[in-house]
Structure 1
């Protein structure tokens, strides 16, 4: 993975994390992408879920920066058909919602940065998705 791109995404994520609305807006956008996805979160403690998201995104970035894949493999198991049953096709919607939310909240957002987010997170997302 290109270290410059991972650093750009890491810095961008830091800017986004300064705004609590980032996580709220992400879930509004993600759940708005599909009725089925919205139903997945009906009984979810969203404050706790936003905390998990915050950590999960960081794990994806750290994986791209060379950290071991253990935590992402654990996420893959928990999100598989034997866990939360997160369907593989939902990950594209998740990434689209995330990139759109970054564009909304990062004052330094640009098309190149949005592409960097996609490139940096995709290997980790694929690792999680492939555990389905």
Structure 2
């Protein structure tokens, strides 16, 4: 299975073509999961939240492609650690992302879900390991 191709196709459909709708739906889902998550983003401008999510996805993708954490992922992990982001929030983040993809994309398949998880999990694992 070509995870990169499935991921890229889905990314293109959902993020490049439906940028505003995708990010709005993701943050609604993610923040609804707990008051703690909502509090993390309460003082962050909507456009900045969208930018942060897109950057995070791209950094996680880069980590997977390079089979090693980049300087960007290391800095992101440090940023999250400094802000006390709990390790469990990474699972909620990924589940919210997948839920959003299924909700907004009628073409989203189980194979694409597997691709998103395969592409993002190496970087998420690094982030979790460096949460504390």
Tell me what 2:84 maps to: 85
Query: Aligned pair count?
Result: 128
Partner of 1:116: 115
Question: How far apart are 1:54 and its partner, in Å?
Answer: 0.8
Q: Which residue of 1 aligns with 2:9?
A: 11
The answer for unaligned runs of 5 or more in structure 2 is: none
Do residues 126 (structure 1) and 121 (structure 2) align? no
Runs (4 or more) in structure 1 with deviation over 4 Å come to none
Q: 8 Å contact 1:9–1:61 — kept in the other structure? A: no
TM-score (norm 2): 0.88
Deviation at 1:38, TM superposition (A): 1.0
Q: How far has the Cα of 1:112 moved from its partner?
A: 2.0
> By how many angstroms is 1:68 displaced?
4.8
Distance, in Å, in 2 between the alignment partners of 1:122 and 1:68 is 12
Aligned residue for 2:45? 45
Normalised to the residue count of structure 1, the TM-score between the two structures is: 0.88
Per the TM alignment, residue 34 of structure 1 is displaced from its structure 2 partner at its CA by 0.8
SS at match of 1:39: helix
CA offsets, 1:34-62, max 9 Å, x none? 11111111211121111111111011112
CA shift for structure 1 position 84: 1.9
In 2, Cα distance between the equivalents of 1:67 and 1:10?
17
Residues 1:67 and 1:105: Cα distance change in structure 2 (over 3 Å): farther
* d(CA) in 2 for partners of 1:55, 1:33: 22
| Counterparts of 2:68 and 2:110, CA distance in 1 | 29
